[in-house]
Amino acid sequence: MAESRAEEVGRGGRPWILGPGDGSLHSFLRVVAAGVLLTLLAAAGCAEGKTEARPTVSVPETSPPAPVALTPQVADRAFRSYVTDEDVARAAGDERLALTWTSDGQSQLTAAEFRKAAYDGDPVRRFVYGSPKLYVPKLRDAAYPQWFVVSVDRSVMGVPKSRRRALMGFILRGPSDHWKLTLATLLQEKAKEPKVAVDAAGYATAMSAEDASVLIRPRDVGGIQATIAAEGPRSVAAKVMRSNAVTTGFYQDAKRARKKAKKKDITYTAVYTATPFPYFGLRTEHGGGLVIYSLFRNTSLIAKEPGTPKPEIPQEAEHLLDGTVEGNEVDTTATLHFAAFDPPKARKGAEQAKAHMIADDGAVTKAGTPPIKKP
């Protein structure tokens, strides 16, 4: 916005010269004062109706990057760039740089891993990758977010016999963004990786959240697992998902933890909840689905009775706390990544196969010791 400004007074006017014998000095000063006053009033009047415009600054227009269609070749370059960039960050112990290549739950796990390494005095793990299989869905050219899944052998550098099969989901949220790892999970021992259907052009088929051709709608797979973890093998949800270390096994783990805590007059609770993070569904051969997703596990240790010793900080959360419990409670949140095989619906009269878990990974990513709440 332009600003108003009074013009300078006396610019360009004839000078007043006072010589001897010109009369009363006081009369002269009165004339000068009157003239100056009239000049100032005139200038102010002009300034009220006149504004001085600032020079226009031209900013060159920039067009947003054009969308790039997702192809197997684009996905391959994105994965290989991630492998290089991730190793640079981990070799340098640069958490901030490492976090620029991740998002969502994987960012939480990466931050927790760097913090644990610092707490233990160890270098952050570095990884060695094998030859990847890329599962790239055929998406509309201008559709975002774009995503793809990689199945690849991954080993911890310098650790013999550490090779595991990893399922990794990558996401690109817009043409101005860059590809980031949003989740990674590890194939369970003795689990068989389902074969994702890939067409002649190298594209996989993405499943919708509401796909009704499989036993469990992809968006509900995590909820079924969480229900079994809470209710155990007698849950109705157990009728559609097999028993596993991360289904009924979670239920048994919580049961044992409650008994152990009760001996110390402490109450233990564990609740599995959905996350706001992306999940991915891919069509497998013979009509099934591979579903990759995340859950939170929220736990609490509470000494409710007055005089009861404070709960101890769980070992898996020590690096996230300062070693003291302010009140009578310790809370933790774990970020967990899973993959499940979702079978096709059986034809009428045929035996229905159950869904089953094939991969899992995760860690405690948040911990707190809140003060005692005042009544």
Please say if the pLDDT value at position 94 is more than 80: yes
**pLDDT band at residue 32 using 50, 70 and 90 as cut-offs:** very low
Please give, one letter per residue, the 3-state secondary structure of 342-356. ECECCCCCCCCCCEE
Question: Mean of the pLDDT values across residues 23-46?
Answer: 42
CA–CA gap between residue 351 and residue 90 (Å, rounded): 49
- Residue 183: beta bridge partners? 169
Q: If you average pLDDT over residues 122-139, what whole number do you get?
A: 96
Checking if the pLDDT of 169 tops 60, the result is yes
User: Which of 234-238, 243-247, 318-322, 332-336 is predicted least confidently?
Assistant: 318-322
- pLDDT recorded at residue 326: 80
d(CA 125, CA 144): 32
360 has pLDDT over 50? yes
Q: Can you tell me the distance from the alpha carbon of 160 to that of 358, in angstroms, rounded to the nearest whole number?
A: 23
Q: What is the dihedral of CA 101, 106, 109, 110, to 10 degrees?
A: -10
SS3 track for the chain: CCECCCCCCCCCCCCCCCCCCCCCHHHHHHHHHHHHHHHHHHHHHHHHCCCECCCCCCCCCCCCCCCCCCCHHHHHHHHHHHHHHHHHHHHHCCHHHHHCCECHHHHHHHHHHHHHHHHHCCCCCCEEECCCEEEEECCCCCCCCEEEEEEEEEEECCCCCCCEEEEEEEEECCCCCCCEEEEEEEECCCCCCCCECECCCCEECECCCCCCCECCCHHHHHHHHHHHHHHCCCCHHHHCECCCCCCHHHHHHHHHHHHHHHCCCCEEEEEEEECCCCCEEEEEHHHCEEEEEEEEEEEEEECCCCCCCCCCCCHHHHHHCCCCCCCCEEEEEEEEEEEEEECECCCCCCCCCCEEEEEEEEEEEEEECCCCCCC
- Mean pLDDT is lowest, of 14-23, 121-130, 223-232, 293-302, for 14-23
Average pLDDT on 19-28 reads 39
pLDDT > 70 fraction of the chain, expressed in percent and rounded: 82
The mean pLDDT value for 240-269 works out to 96
- Give the pLDDT of residue 188: 98
Mean pLDDT taken over the chain:
86
Read off the pLDDT band of 9 (50, 70, 90). very low
- Predicted local confidence at residue 31, as pLDDT: 39
Residue 17: pLDDT above 50? no
Q: What are phi and psi of 36, to 5 degrees?
A: -65, -40
Q: What mean pLDDT comes out for the span 204-210?
A: 96
pLDDT bin (cut points 50, 70, 90) of residue 178 is: very high
Q: How far is CA 272 from CA 142, 228, 333, in A?
A: 36, 10, 10
Side chain identity at 374, as an amino acid letter? K
pLDDT for res 323: 84
Residue 15 banded pLDDT, cuts 50, 70, 90 = very low
Q: Provide the pLDDT for residue 193.
A: 96
Predicted confidence (pLDDT) per residue in 315-357, tens digit: 999 999 988 888 899 999 999 999 999 999 999 989 999 999 9
